[in-house]
Amino acid sequence: MLVPRQCGFSAVFSFALHTKLISVRLSEQGYYFSRKCAILEGMDNDNWLETLAQEGAYARDDTAFDTAGYHKILCPEFPDFLFDFVGLPLLQRLQGIGLLCGTDWTPLFHNRFYYSRLNHSVGTALIVWNFTHDRAQTVAALLHDVSSPTFSHVTDFRNGDALTQESTEALNIRMLADSEELLTLLEAHALDFDAVADYHMYSVADTAVPGLCADRLEYMYPSGAALNGIWSMDAIAANYAQVMLMKNKAGQLELGFRSEAAALEYTKKFCATSLILQRNEDKIAMQLMADVLSRAVECGFAKEDDFYTVSEQLLINRFDGFAEDDADPAFTRLYRTFRSMTAIEHTEEPLADAYCVSLNVKQRYVNPLVRIASGQAKRLSAISPEADECIKAFLAYKDSTCGCVRWQH
């Protein structure tokens, strides 16, 4: 991409943070997602992964995704001590950051509802509490995403880290340590900072791929519901009811499934949703927004600190204004393309007069444990040829070399 050395407009603006504080006790508002859960049976066996990924991709209805209801599925009783932590400013700002990495703001995607990083953090904590009733592990899970900037993993693309998407994680402990409110609250609850600062210590909260942990389990239910309508609330409840704690070969606690059928359903839907994130549409959306943010900083339309203090909505409002004024032509072209693109071209070579990407990105998949008749835990792929095929098909998937979208001027 050609970037002019000088910006057409260089004034720096400062905006106050106005993200709405949402009480978990009152979070009864619904969001929108489409269609009933996709039926797994009766699909073309050769194309089921593509079918599930595309199923209902442009369908919408007025069925509300009840975030509070979903969280109640994950843990029927919300633990009282968690309310104090959810109210911390460093967590409340996550309400203004979407789980789906900026794709809420482009018509290239048709996300059915907005699900925030705060929603995800609370959901992850509730899963941990449901299965462990351990306060330190639960708080660690709640705090695991405090370093997420606006548009989430878009910043990893800015940092050249599309493959692991972990470039902001090092900030997490530092941000926690700098929060006087958190330190005071930990003392009041008799919790040690080191016990909650790094959720990677707890295998129920986080574990290596392809294992299943609270973080991974939680984000794929709403992601699948939002991106392709693959999970209904009833389907989530039925599937989650089959989740249990097990021990893996290393002797670590890990989430798994009581039944092969539930594990297969989750794995197939996980792979289908992850396939969307492997496509060039997602790569373009994230890299293009990454370039929008970088250009905005170069032009003084935003500061790096804004990505940790200002909500996505406020940044979008600000950027809309700069694009409308055409304050910097390079920024305007990037931003208008992001905000108006509805389709891309899949090519083997970059196209002229187009924004093109060619990237390898993180592969998200699971191969969960399943309890077998003997009471032992086995990886799903070891007992299910269908699951083995599903995982291999996902890992082998390659989109075209390039994804391109025509510039919007």
- Helix and strand numbers (H, E) in the chain are 18, 9
What letter would DSSP give residue 212?
B
- Banded pLDDT at 169 (limits 50, 70, 90): confident
Residue 199 phi, psi (nearest 5): -70, -15
pLDDT in tens, 373-384: 998 999 999 999
Position 1 pLDDT exceeds 80: no
Mean pLDDT of the chain: 86
Report the run of H or E that residue 402 belongs to, with start and end. strand 402-406
Q: What is the pTM of this model?
A: 0.85
- Banded pLDDT at 108 (limits 50, 70, 90): very high
Could you tell me if 362 and 164 are in contact, meaning their C-beta atoms sit under 8 angstroms apart?
yes
- Banded pLDDT at 241 (limits 50, 70, 90): very high
Question: Beta-carbon neighbour count of residue 252 at 10 Å?
Answer: 14
Position 407 pLDDT exceeds 70: yes
Q: What is the pLDDT of residue 40?
A: 29
Query: Cα(192)–Cα(208) distance, rounded to whole angstroms?
Result: 25
pLDDT in tens, 9-33: 222 222 222 222 323 222 222 222 2
pLDDT in tens, 131-160: 999 999 999 999 999 999 999 999 999 999
Position 55 pLDDT exceeds 80: no
Instruction: Give Cα 60 to chain centroid, integer Å.
Output: 21
Q: Residue 287 corresponds to which tokens in the numbers above? A: 């890299």
